[in-house]
Amino acid sequence: MTGRADAHVHLATTGRFSTAVDEGHEVETYDRARVRAAITDALVVGYQGWPGLEANNADVLAIARERSWVHPLAYLDVRHPPADDLLTGAAARGFRGFSVYDDPDGAHLADWPVATRRRLAAGGDVLSLNLRPAALARLAAVAGDLAGTTVLVSHLGLPGPLPATAGRAEVRDRLRPLLDLARFEHVSVKLSGLYAIDPVPPHAGALAVTEEVLGAFGPGRLLWGSDFSPALDVVGLDDALTLPAWLPELATPAEIDDIGGATLRRLLAAPPTGRTAP
């Protein structure tokens, strides 16, 4: 592997994402660790849903301006369809795309006007989605409206805890809303948040989940992410930044290179959508 890229990172200088890192030190902690792990690029996912992180979009944008390895995504509150100028102007401000999170009260991209979803897709290179299975099931009806961007479904579709002994029928049933999205070529999946499936490294309970996702999407549509720094509330830093030890059971070295960063680096190497020359 010639170097990796991380498809799911959270960073803040105001507020913090993990109690395992002192406030104000997430950026330097990750920066040191990513150098040791040969991570050359990081997709930094904006999130403003926790107290103290209300300005995270501005925060990650400021971080990106000082560090070329940071590729920021602007958080959008799914409860409030964004104004057109926010979507069309995000790339010019320096964002590579957007992030949308599940809403416990049921608000969903499917509730947005079709024109807004299409402007969302046109306004950035990446749309990162943290959606639980019920919300993923609703996404299928509107996924076509997002065809202008690369949709990255985080954390293997958040199937929830699964033991290593779970049968294939149970695994597929949990993953059905995600697997149904494989027919959309612009939808890919992040190999991230394994600790939410099985908290004990090497997260053996996530092996069968990953195998099913690989079978449906292929290795070119699976992108590894560390989930730094929220992952540190469950696992150590080295574990968070390491590819799962069982991945060679499922993929060839070339495929692992794609999963571990080559696919994301190719995506990020393309000229940013909507950004104009100064």
Q: Which H, E and C letters describe 187-201, residue by residue?
A: EEEEECCHHHCCCCC
- CATH number of the CATH domain containing 232: 3.20.20.140
Of the candidates 225, 257, 255, 230, the residue with the CA atom closest to the CA atom of residue 241: 225
Query: In this structure, is residue 276 part of a structural domain?
Result: no
Q: How many Å apart are CA 104 and CA 131, to the nearest integer?
A: 10
Query: In this structure, is residue 82 part of a structural domain?
Result: yes
Query: In this structure, is residue 54 part of a structural domain?
Result: yes
Of the candidates 13, 227, 209, 206, the residue with the CA atom closest to the CA atom of residue 130: 227
Q: How many Å apart are CA 131 and CA 136, to the nearest integer?
A: 6
pLDDT over 70 for what percent of the chain? 97
Query: In this structure, is residue 243 part of a structural domain?
Result: yes
Q: How many Å apart are CA 119 and CA 175, to the nearest integer?
A: 29
The model's pLDDT over 83-94, given as tens digits with 9 standing for 90+, comes to: 999 999 999 999
Tokens matching residue 68: 């070329």
7 SS3 class: strand
Please list, residue by residue across 42-57, b when 16 or more beta carbons sit within 10 angstroms of its beta carbon and e when fewer do: bbbbbbbeeeebeebb
Which helix H or strand E contains 152, and what residues bound it?
A: strand 150-153
Across the chain, what does the average pLDDT equal?
Answer: 95
Which helix H or strand E contains 129, and what residues bound it?
A: strand 126-130
pTM for this predicted structure: 0.95
Query: In this structure, is residue 182 part of a structural domain?
Result: yes
Query: In this structure, is residue 174 part of a structural domain?
Result: yes
Q: What is the DSSP string of 215-273?
A: HHH-GGGEEE---BTGGGGTS-HHHHTS--TTGGGTS-HHHHHIIIIIHHHHHHHSPPT
Query: In this structure, is residue 177 part of a structural domain?
Result: yes
Q: How far apart are the first and last CA of the chain?
A: 35
174 SS3 class: helix
- Rg of the chain over Cα atoms, rounded to whole angstroms, equals 17
Q: Place 278 in a pLDDT band, splitting at 50, 70 and 90.
A: very low
Tokens matching residue 77: 């509150």
Q: Is the model's pLDDT at 185 over the cut of 80? A: yes
Q: Is the model's pLDDT at 277 over the cut of 70? A: no
Q: Is the model's pLDDT at 276 over the cut of 50? A: no
Of the candidates 203, 198, 231, 225, the residue with the CA atom closest to the CA atom of residue 20: 231
The model's pLDDT over 208-229, given as tens digits with 9 standing for 90+, comes to: 999 999 999 999 999 999 999 9
* Bridge partner list, 25: none
Query: In this structure, is residue 275 part of a structural domain?
Result: no
The model's pLDDT over 113-135, given as tens digits with 9 standing for 90+, comes to: 999 999 999 999 999 999 999 99
Q: What is residue 271's predicted lDDT score, i.e. its pLDDT?
A: 74
Host domain of residue 120:
4-269
What total of structural domains would you count in the chain? 1
